[in-house]
Amino acid sequence: MEVVAMDTERSKKRVWMVIWPLGIAAGSSHGGRLYLAVLHWNENCDRAQAVDAEGNPVYRLRYPRSKEGGHTVERVLTAGTCGYVKALMRVVVELVENREQLRDNMEELQPQPARSASHHHPDNGEAVQAFEQHHRFGDRN
């Protein structure tokens, strides 16, 4: 999920799908943390390798304990960014200022019928009769 052009209706919808779980899980913020982690990853996953003043790529040496004195060479990446925070804040402020009611306009936020609504529900008489006719439960007297 990327947050780039905040002025379009589609991007508002995407951002709202990120913000909405933050508000519903008052006792648990794990869902919101997951969405924020996804935004952070998407913004910073393609960072380029850092270069020094002369244009040479920068590396660093690490000495992990598992190598017992040996070393590993790692690329140094450019610093991570948090531009998605400004984009989210801009959309949130716009939604609050305009007092937009997104719940009524978005299909994903509409209440869904219960899953059991599509199944056949026998009345008590039918259920008891089927239970008594079952070969495992029939003659229990």
Give the pLDDT confidence of 52-63 residue by residue, as tens digits. 999 999 999 999
**Cβ-based neighbours of 129, under 8 Å, separated by 6 or more:** none
- Using CB atoms within 10 A of its CB, is residue 106 exposed (0-12), middle (13-18) or buried (19+)? middle
Give the pLDDT confidence of 80-108 residue by residue, as tens digits. 998 888 988 988 888 888 776 767 777 77
Q: Which one, of 84, 115, 59, lies nearest residue 3 by Cα? A: 84
Q: Which one, of 48, 36, 30, lies nearest residue 1 by Cα? A: 36
Please calculate the CA angle 30-35-38 and round it to the nearest 5 degrees: 125
Q: What is the pTM of this model?
A: 0.46
| CA 91 – CA 20 distance, rounded (Å) | 12
Token digits for 69?
Answer: 């004195």
